[in-house]
Amino acid sequence: MAKVYIYPGTSLILSDLVARFGHQPLGSALAVRERVQTPGLDSPPLQITPEDPKKGLRYAAVEVPSGVRGRMSLFGPQIEEAEAGIIISDADLSFGCMGCARTNELVQFLLHRRDIPLLELDYPCNDEEGVRFVAAIKEFLSSLPGGVST
Amino acid sequence: MTVPVRIALLGCGAEYSGVMPEIYEAARQVEAEVFYPDVTLADIRSAGKGFGLDVHSADLKLIIARAEALVTGRAEADAVFIATCFRCAEAAIVRNELRRYIHEASCLPVVSYSFTERTTSGTLLTRMEALVTIARRRALLARERQEGLTMGLDSGSATTKAIIMKDNEVIGTGWRPTTQVQQSADEVIALALEESGVRRSEIEAVGVTGYGRFLLGNAIGADLIQEELTVNSKGAVYLADRQHGFATVIDIGGMDNKAITVQDGIPGVFTMGGICAGASGRFLEMTAKRLGIDITELGPLAMKGTAKNVPMNSYCIVFGTQSLVNALAAGNTPADVAAAACHSVAEQVYEQQLQEVDIREPVIMVGGTSLISGLVHAMGELLQTEIVVPRYSQYIGAVGSALLASGFIRKE
Amino acid sequence: MSEAASAGGLPARPGVRPGTATKYVFVDSPDLTAADLALRAYEIAPAAQIKETCFGLMINGLEADVERLVKALRALDPDRIFVKDRGFPPGDERRCRANLGGARPGFYGHENEMRLIRYISSGLRALRDPKKADLLRAKPKKHDEPLSPDRLRELIEES
C-alpha cells in the first residue's frame, strides 16, 4: 500500500478511487482531522493557529501571504510523506483548503520536484472520458508498490 | 437582549492564517455575529462572468458570489467585512473592487482589511465597532446639531482632548499630551471647564472616543462610548458644514491614520492604520525636533521649501529619519527638509491608504496634523484639490463626541 | 436533507477523540437513496454515529468500525457509492451550516464533483466489461506541442 497525495486534496473522486484500489489517499481531511483531534487546541474553525503559517515558512518565504503558508503547514508534510501523486489539472472549483490558486501552484510545483510517480489528468466530462479516467488511475495505482493489478 | 448585528464575512485565507478566532472575538465584543452569505455552486460558477472579474482562486470566486448575493438581496446582512491575506495581489484586486461594488450597489456599510497571522482582535475591534455603529445607530448618526450642554473627550494615542459645547457652539477646549489615560483626561476636562465657565455637574451628557475610550468612558460613566471612525467623520462634516452629500475625511494621527468616505454624515467606506511610522504624525514630530523647531513651526517652514529637492519617501520612521539627517548633512535647507517630510507623509498615506477609499470632494483633513499647513498643502497637491481644514479640526473626536452625546440628554 | 438540518441539536464538539474517524459515504444511484443507505448503516453498525447529508451519509466512530461499515455499505452498489475522509465529526459547530450562515467552502467542492460522479460510475463499470477494453487506456494529459516546421509545410501543401 502506497501513500498517494491527491490533488485537489479535497477530492471525493480521487480519495475514493485511491482507497478503492488499495492505497492510502493523503488529502486535506486527514491533515484537518489531525488538528481537530489535537487536545488543547482551540482555534476554530480549522484549529489552525497563528503558529501554523510560521510552520509554513518551511515551504514558502515570509513575504508569501499567511493563507498560503497556513495551507502549506497542512499539505507540506503530506507532500514530503507521499510515495506517489495524482493531480487533476483542471480542478478550478475546489474551495477551502484548495481555494487559493497560489497555494495550489506551489503544491503542484513541490509534487513535481519530488522524484515520485505522478499521474496528471483532467476531470472527465462524459462517459467515455470517465472510462479512460478511471482506467488510467487504476493502472497507475496498480503500478505502485502493493498495488492490485487485477 | 439586543439582536446582534449580522456582519457578512467575505474572507479569503482567514481560516488558514489562524485569525478567525480574532475575527469572531472582535465581533463578539461589539455584540455582532459573523456569518457567510449562502450561495449555490451555480452562483459561484457565474460569479466571475456577472461581476466581470475572472479570478483564479476559487475562494475569491466564492466571495464574489457572496457579494453578489448581498447586493441583489438574495442574502441579507447589516454590514460587510472583507478580509483577505496581506501581500496577495489577486485578493487585493478583489477586495478593492468588491468594496467599491458593495458600496455603490447597496446601502451596506463595508470595511476591508488585509490580515497577517499576527492580526489581533484588538486591531479589528474599532473597525467592527464602526460597522456595528453604522448598522445599529443610523438615527444617532443623523444628528446635525448639538443641543444642550455636552462634553466630548478624545483619549488619543498621542494627545487627549476635551470639548464643551452649548447650543451648537464650542465654549471650552482642553488639550494635553497623553501620559496616563485617566490623569490626562482629568487635566483636559479641568481646562475645558475653566474656559467654558461651567461646572462638571452642569454637563448633561458626555461622549468619549479614542484609544482610551473604554477605560475612560467606564470610569466617568460616559453616556456614549464610540470608536473614532464614526465620531470623527461625523465631527468633520459637522465642523466643515458639509453634512449632506459626499465628503472624504483624512485624519493622520500619532499612531494610525484614518481615511473615510462619508455620505450624508455616515461613513460608507473606511480604512484605518496599517502602515508604518514613516507615514504618521510621529515622523513630523521627529522632523521638527531634528530641525530644532516646535511642531507648530513645521508647517509654515515647509511652505517655504521645495519638497522635490530632498529625496524622502520611506514608510519607516528610521529610514525616513536617515534621509532627513543625510539631507541636512548634504546642505539642504531646513525649509526643503520640512517640505520633503510633509510630502513624504502625505505620499505614503496617499499610496497606502487613500487607494482603499473612494476620494469624494470635499476632502476634509482633521486631527492635530491638519494644523501643519505644509502637510495639508502636500496632500492637496497629491489629490489635486483644495483641502478643507475646519476650525477646531484638532479636536475632531471630542467635537464629534459632544455632538453625538446630545442624543443622550434625558429630557425631563 | 441538508447538513444543517441533520447537524442540529448536537452537543458541542463531539467525536473528536483520537482514534476515531469520520467518513462521507455518498451515493448517486436510481436504486438507492441516502435514506436507504442510512437504514442499512444502522442495521450493520448500530453503535456508529450516522448522519444524513445532501449527498449521502456521514459516519463517525472508531476507525476500525468505520472501515468495516464502509466496506459493507460499498458492497450495496460498488459503482455508485463513493467514500471520502472528513476532518470534522458530524455536526461539529465549527463546520455546521446552521452556525456559519452559509455552506462551508468544501460543500461546493463536493457539489462540483457530484455533478461528474456518474462518469466515474461508468468508468468503474467499464473495468469489468471486456468490450470496453480498447477504451480503458486513458491518454495522459496532453501538453500542446508547438507546430513543427515540417508539419506546417505539410499543411500548406495539403491546402
Band (pLDDT 50/70/90 cuts) for residue C7 is very low
Amino acid in position A14: L
Q: Does A46 touch chain B (CB under 8 A)?
A: yes
Q: Which helix (H) or strand (E) segment is B80 a member of? A: strand B79-85
Highest mean pLDDT among A24-28, B118-122, C52-56, C127-131: A24-28
Band (pLDDT 50/70/90 cuts) for residue A37 is confident
Residue B99 located in a structural domain: yes
Residue B29 located in a structural domain: yes
Answer yes or no: do B278 and B154 share one domain.
no
Q: Does C100 touch chain B (CB under 8 A)?
A: yes
The residue of chain A with its CA nearest to that of C92 is A45
The residue of chain A with its CA nearest to that of C74 is A20
Band (pLDDT 50/70/90 cuts) for residue C8 is very low
* Burial of A140 per CB tally in 10 Å (0-12, 13-18, 19+): buried
Considering only CB atoms, C102 lies closest to which of B37, B41, B59, namely: B37
Q: How many CB atoms lie within 10 A of CB A35?
A: 17
Answer yes or no: do B380 and B401 share one domain.
no
- Contacts of residues C143-147 at CB distance under 8 Å and 24 or more positions apart, as own/partner, are none
Instruction: Compute the CA torsion angle C17, C18, C19, C20 (nearest 10 deg).
Output: 40
Contact C108 B38 (CB under 8 A): no
Answer yes or no: do B12 and B124 share one domain.
yes
Q: What is the pLDDT of residue C6?
A: 33
ipTM of the complex: 0.95
Domain boundary among B82, B107, B136: B136
Evaluate if residue C9 carries a pLDDT over 50: no
Q: Which chains touch A (3 or more CB pairs under 8 A)?
A: B, C
3-class DSSP state for residue B331?
Answer: coil
Q: What is the pLDDT of residue C148?
A: 78
Answer yes or no: do B67 and B188 share one domain.
no
Residue B238 located in a structural domain: no
Contact C103 B38 (CB under 8 A): yes
Give residue B221's region: left, alpha or beta (phi > 0; psi -120 to 50): left
Contact B36 C103 (CB under 8 A): yes
Q: Does C108 touch chain B (CB under 8 A)?
A: yes
Give residue C152's region: left, alpha or beta (phi > 0; psi -120 to 50): alpha
Q: What average pLDDT does range C2-12 have in this prediction?
A: 35
The residue of chain C with its CA nearest to that of B6 is C101
Residues forming a β-bridge with B272: B258
Please identify which residue in the block is written with the cell numbers 497542512. Answer: A74
* DSSP assignment letter at C19: T
Q: What is the pLDDT of residue C3?
A: 36
Band (pLDDT 50/70/90 cuts) for residue C94 is confident
Beta-sheet strand order (sheet of C56-62): C49-52, C56-62, C20-27, C81-86
- What are the residue ranges in chain B where pLDDT is below 70? 1, 274-275, 277-278, 411-412
- Rounded Cα distance between A56 and A68, Å, is 8
Q: What is the pLDDT of residue C136?
A: 66
- Rounded Cα distance between C90 and C20, Å, is 12
Residue B292 located in a structural domain: yes
Residues of A in contact with B59 (CB under 8 A): 95-96, 99-100
Residue B41 located in a structural domain: yes
Band (pLDDT 50/70/90 cuts) for residue C4 is very low
Q: Are strands B169-177 and B159-166 parallel, antiparallel or unpaired?
A: antiparallel
Q: What is the domain partition of chain A in residue ranges?
A: 3-143
Answer yes or no: do B122 and B177 share one domain.
no
Whole-number average pLDDT of chain C: 81
Answer yes or no: do B331 and B400 share one domain.
no
A83: closest CA of chain C, how far (Å): 19
Q: Where are the beta strands (DSSP E) in B291-334?
A: none
Which CATH number characterizes residue B96's domain?
A: 3.40.50.11900
Q: What are the tens digits of pLDDT across the range C21-58? A: 999 999 999 989 999 999 999 998 877 889 988 899 99
Q: What is the pLDDT of residue B7?
A: 96
Residue B141 located in a structural domain: no
Assess whether the previous peptide bond of B21 is cis (omega < 30° from 0).
Answer: no
Q: What is the pLDDT of residue B359?
A: 87
Answer yes or no: do B48 and B156 share one domain.
no
Which residues 6+ apart lie within 8 Å of A22 measured at CB?
Answer: A1, A141, A146, A147, A148
Answer yes or no: do B17 and B108 share one domain.
yes
Between C18 and B152, the more confident residue is B152
Domain count, chain B: 3
Band (pLDDT 50/70/90 cuts) for residue C142 is low
The residue of chain A with its CA nearest to that of B59 is A99
- Host domain of residue B84: 5-136
Q: What average pLDDT does range C80-94 have in this prediction?
A: 88
Q: Does A31 touch chain C (CB under 8 A)?
A: yes
Contact C101 B35 (CB under 8 A): yes
Considering only CB atoms, B39 lies closest to which of C97, C102, C104, namely: C102
- Rounded Cα distance between C25 and C85, Å, is 9
Domain boundary among B136, B162, B193: B136
Answer yes or no: do B251 and B381 share one domain.
yes
Answer yes or no: do B280 and B371 share one domain.
yes
Grid cell listed for B116? 497577517
Q: What is the pLDDT of residue B51?
A: 85
Answer yes or no: do B248 and B384 share one domain.
yes
Answer yes or no: do B285 and B378 share one domain.
yes
Distances (CA, A) of B349 to B280, B297, B326, B344, C137: 8, 22, 23, 9, 60
Q: What is the pLDDT of residue C13?
A: 54
The residue of chain C with its CA nearest to that of A120 is C141
